[in-house]
Amino acid sequence: MRRLRRTDSLRALVRETRLHLDDVVMPLFACPGNRVVRPLEGLPAIAQRSVDELVRELDECATLGVSAVLLFGIPAEKDESGSGAYDEDGVVQQALRELRRRFPELLLLTDVCLCEYTSHGHCGVVVGDEVGNDETLELLARTAISHVEAGADAVCPSDMMDGRVGALRAALDDAGLEATPIVAYSAKYASAFYGPFREAADSTPSFGDRRGYQMDAANLREALRECELDVAEGADVLMVKPALPNLDVIRAVRERFDLPLAAYNVSGEYAMVKAAAARGWLDERQAALESLTAIKRAGADIIISYWTKELAGWL
Ligand code: PBG
């Protein structure tokens, strides 16, 4: 076996899995204001940025070859019903208009969820002491429409309400937006690895947790059922999240479904490597490339990763 491992060029010749910038999506956090770059402690090298600063960041990233971004919004104010999510002049909508104008070629994906916008931090509206499912669907649909009208190329529902893909598809079609694809966070697990993101989005639930709507990490068959429902409801792309603890799920979804498959290499997966690298315990570049390659090898076509900008430099 060692014959083909002897040199860089031999290894490259027989390499089975390759990373390509076209397959990688960079998450971005848009916040209100001007000239705001607010670094995030748990997400080194990532920041909340006002729209003007997002433009500067993307000027650099586009030059490096980054082809797609996933936008999250941090509103000035939060309320019970997350109205900042579907406000025509919300932070994501403003960012979309500006980025659409400046970067006509860049793929603009948006995360569709209420948790960054609700005062209680849950992904939907609270009814009694639970997150109301159908009450939330309507608000998610409004959010998706407002994103597309502001310039989004695709919408990515991450809330884990039942029926959201069907609700979004119907609402988009009714609004004449039948050309917009839905990238569904189909198998999204309730995960400790979202920790740094919740600090970044200031979206830690003020009571309870998300286990009433996000999936139990112990379940694989349930993930396949989630995917099956999303396919039936009209999803264009499926997603598994987080990626590294769920490589088996990525593989199983790849084998069962023919839709393009995305995987989200989430904040905690990134933060762990950054933290260890900062202590000199491992080589960040190698650990990042190994992680991303493993996600592709497991079967993901598309990877959402906080390493996208660095990756553009490495590749
Ligand atoms: C919104 C959302 C979350 C993430 C993506 N979309 C947080 C959550 O569900 O708690 C996590 C992303 C990451 O950790 O990088 N619902």
DSSP 8-state code for residue 246: G
Residue 162: CA atoms inside 13 Å, Cβ hemisphere, count? 6
266: CA distance to ligand 1 center in Å? 8
Query: Does residue 212 belong to any structural domain of this protein?
Result: yes
Q: How far apart are CA 49 and CA 33, in angstroms?
A: 8
Q: What is the mean pLDDT of residues 259-277?
A: 98
In a domain, 105, yes or no: yes
Examine residue 2 and state whether it is found in any structural domain, yes or no: no
Q: How confident is the model at residue 272 (pLDDT cuts 50, 70, 90)?
A: very high
Instruction: Give the pLDDT confidence score for residue 202 in this predicted structure.
Output: 83
Q: Could you report the per-residue pLDDT of 175-206, keeping only the tens digit for each?
A: 999 999 999 999 999 999 999 999 888 888 99
Mutate to test the pocket of ligand 1, among 114, 140, 194 (most ligand atoms within 8 A of CB): 194
Hey, which of 122, 183, 197 would you mutate to test ligand 1's pocket, going by the most ligand atoms within 8 Å of its Cβ?
A: 197
- The pLDDT, as a whole number, for residue 201 is 87
Distance separating alpha carbons of residues 113 and 238, to the nearest angstrom: 16
Nearest atom in ligand 1 to the alpha carbon of residue 196 is: 14
The C-alpha atoms of residue 258 and residue 246 are separated, in whole angstroms, by: 19
Q: What's the pTM value of the predicted model, to 2 decimals? A: 0.97
Domain count, the chain: 1
| Cα–ligand 1 centroid distance for 252 (angstroms) | 22
Q: What is the DSSP string of 158-220?
A: -S--TTHHHHHHHHHHHTT-TT--BEEEEEEB--GGGHHHHHHHT---SSS-STTTSBPTT-S
- For residue 70, the domain's CATH number is 3.20.20.70
Q: Could you report the per-residue pLDDT of 121-178, keeping only the tens digit for each?
A: 999 999 998 999 999 999 999 999 999 999 999 999 999 999 999 999 999 999 999 9
Q: Dmax over Cα atoms in the chain, in whole Å?
A: 66
Note whether residue 4 is domain-resident.
no
**Ligand 1 — pocket residues by CB below 6 A?**
111, 113, 115, 123, 158, 194, 197-198, 210, 266-267
> Is residue 156 in a domain?
yes
Residue 47 included in any domain: yes
Question: Residue 66 is encoded by which pair of tokens?
Answer: 């980054």
Cα 197 to ligand 1 centre (Å): 6
Contact 183, 156 (CB under 8 A): yes
State residue 123's pLDDT score. 95
Distance 109 CA to ligand 1 centre (A): 14
Tell whether the model's pLDDT for residue 13 goes beyond 90.
yes
Q: What pLDDT shows up at residue 145?
A: 98
Residue 175 burial (10 A CB sphere; 0-12, 13-18, 19+): middle
Annotated catalytic residues are 188, 241
Q: Could you tell me if 189 and 239 are in contact, meaning their C-beta atoms sit under 8 angstroms apart? A: no
Please tell me the predicted confidence (pLDDT) of residue 213.
96
Instruction: Give a yes or no: residue 7 inside a domain.
Output: no
Whole domain around residue 249: which residue ranges? 19-314
Q: Which atom of ligand 1 is nearest to the CA of 266?
A: 15
User: Would 10 be classed as within a structural domain?
Assistant: no
Per DSSP, what are the bridge partners of residue 73?
A: 30
